[in-house]
Structure 1
Amino acid sequence: MDIELTFQLVLLLFAIAFIAGFIDAIAGGGGLITIPALMWIGLPPAAALATNKLQACGGSFFASWYFVRKGMVQLGEMKLAIFCALVGSAVGTIGVQMVDGSVLKLLLPFLILAIGGYFLFSKKISDDDRARVLSPQLFALTVGLGVGLYDGFFGPGTGSFFALGFVTLAGYGIAKATAHAKVMNFATNISSLLFFTLGGKVVWSMGLIMLVGQGLGATLGSRLVLTKGTKLIKPLVVTMSLLMSVKLLAEHYNLSPL
């Protein structure tokens, strides 16, 4: 793969990753920015997805680390959920190579749009915790494993699916749900990255540059989650859900310029 890393390209990749990391830490959907950018500069789809996983690990790690340091997340209480997310993502990454994902690709834009609608219209979305619907064990075996499987299989909107699960089934307020979603997303990203690495698909030079940008953007976004809460998260989740749905539908009907 012969793409020269000029100074201008390095700055561009860093800036794109920074913006994506900032948005992803708050609402998810950063891949809407980074994957098209990587394909635009000349990476084939598989390499773009693999390299995106590398830089996404940076964003989700630094966001998770910030939330853990601030006491928003207790890792000891999430061991089973994290393990299930890791396993689910690994199985999904293997399964995508054997199963036709065309039906999922068609349904996904509407599922993501439904998430945006829920965040927009539901009166339950707030910064306050509510009663838990599922036990931590059952939550891990359903949401942790299920969304992890989805992320390994396809990926877009994973953070939104995790956040929705924490709000509706774990009873978390939106800021707390966002914090826990980033930890789970880091687990699925690491699992997928491992399999992409074994397949030799990762472009490390570009991915590492973007990882630094993602980390800085994610740290800034994470701080705003704690200070702004619902006022910032709700409109961004709704906006990113709409953009993801439009992009996925455009790709399905061959309307995307990429």
Structure 2
Amino acid sequence: MLFPFELGIELSTLAILVAVAFTAGFIDAIAGGGGLLTIPALLTAGIPPHLALGTNKLCATFGSATASYTFYRRKLFSPGQWRHALVATAIGAWLGAFLAHWLPSDWLNQLLPVVVFACGLYLLFGKTPDVKSCTDAPIAQARQWPQGLALGFYDGVAGPGTGAFWTVSSLMLYPLDLLRASGVARSMNFVSNACALSIFIFSGHVVWLLGICMGLGLMVGAYLGARTAIKGGSRFIRPVFILVVLALTARLAWQHWFGLA
């Protein structure tokens, strides 16, 4: 079992990471994309790529579980309608995490900044579809398999932006409004986080104390964010969030590709 002090993490750095996790949990519960903050923060703090992915999965599971339960309690997600997506997401996440376990660290060092930066650009320039909700309309079952497998696999391999991709793709594929699509996204994100986490735990790629501390921060942020989203959302956060993401990933790219701190 690894602890933060064994990796040279000071208490001040730990406090900053917990604060980042709180912010990520709040934003993730509203629009998705919390991993776009936590993964760059972990990498910038000097956590090796495999440990960063596993630790992020641990703390993300705390946050996504809290947000998912909040949406479920408000009857904004019905598991029975999404059983195929739940199974497909679990299978995809296990396969993706298994692949990530075998990828060389050097590959992940080069890949993660690219993935996070690309996701940040997509969220910055992508347009969220405007779809009117119809609560009585049937939810297509066949579409859930490719959607769940693809996004579950992506979340297992890397993860940043998965919640946002779930929200956007659900708006495009089903008769949902933004709030119900967010409920689907939070629930599927919890499934893929938990399944991928099991692989990272088995392979020993989790910094437990750090992940639990960040997870508690994420839980509080996710609870407040989900309640805010249900009451009407906070879209003013989006541009600030994207700018922070782009700044963090630009620093990571500079650090990893040019060897500069």
Short-chain TM bin: 0.7 to 0.9
Q: What is residue 36 of structure 2 aligned with on the other side?
A: 32
Question: Map of 1:48-63 to 2, 5 A cutoff?
Answer: 48-63=52-67
Residue from 114, 117, 121 that aligns with 2:125:
117
Q: What is residue 198 of structure 2 aligned with on the other side?
A: 194
SS at match of 1:216: helix
Q: Which stretch shifts more, 157-166 or 31-40?
A: 31-40
Q: What is residue 147 of structure 1 aligned with on the other side?
A: 151
Letter in 2 for 1:125: D
Q: Is the 8 A contact 2:39 2:160 kept in 1?
A: no
CA offset digits 1:201-231 (Å, max 9, x no partner): 10111111111110010000001111114xx
Counterpart Cα distance in 1 of 2:200 and 2:45: 20
Q: What is residue 219 of structure 2 aligned with on the other side?
A: 215
Counterpart Cα distance in 1 of 2:210 and 2:87: 29
Deviation at 1:38? 2.5
Letter in 2 for 1:91: L
Question: Map of 1:68-217 to 2, 5 A cutoff?
Answer: 68-96=72-100, 97=102, 109-110=117-118, 113-119=121-127, 124-125=129-130, 128-129=132-133, 136-217=140-221
Percent identity (aligned): 32
Letter in 2 for 1:56: A
Q: Provide the alpha-carbon RMSD of the alignment.
A: 3.4
Q: What is residue 20 of structure 2 aligned with on the other side?
A: 16
Q: Is the 8 A contact 2:119 2:161 kept in 1?
A: no
- Mark the runs of 5 or more structure 2 residues left unpaired by the alignment: none
Deviation at 1:40? 3.8
Q: What is residue 230 of structure 2 aligned with on the other side?
A: 226
Q: What is residue 67 of structure 1 aligned with on the other side?
A: 71
Letter in 1 for 2:125: G
Counterpart Cα distance in 1 of 2:169 and 2:24: 23
Q: Are residues 208 and 73 of structure 1, via their aligned partners in 2, closer, same or farther at CA, if it must alter by over 3 Å? A: same
Query: What is the number of equivalent residue pairs in this alignment?
Result: 251
- TM-score, normalised via structure 1 length: 0.81
- Mark the runs of 5 or more structure 1 residues left unpaired by the alignment: none
Counterpart Cα distance in 1 of 2:18 and 2:43: 15
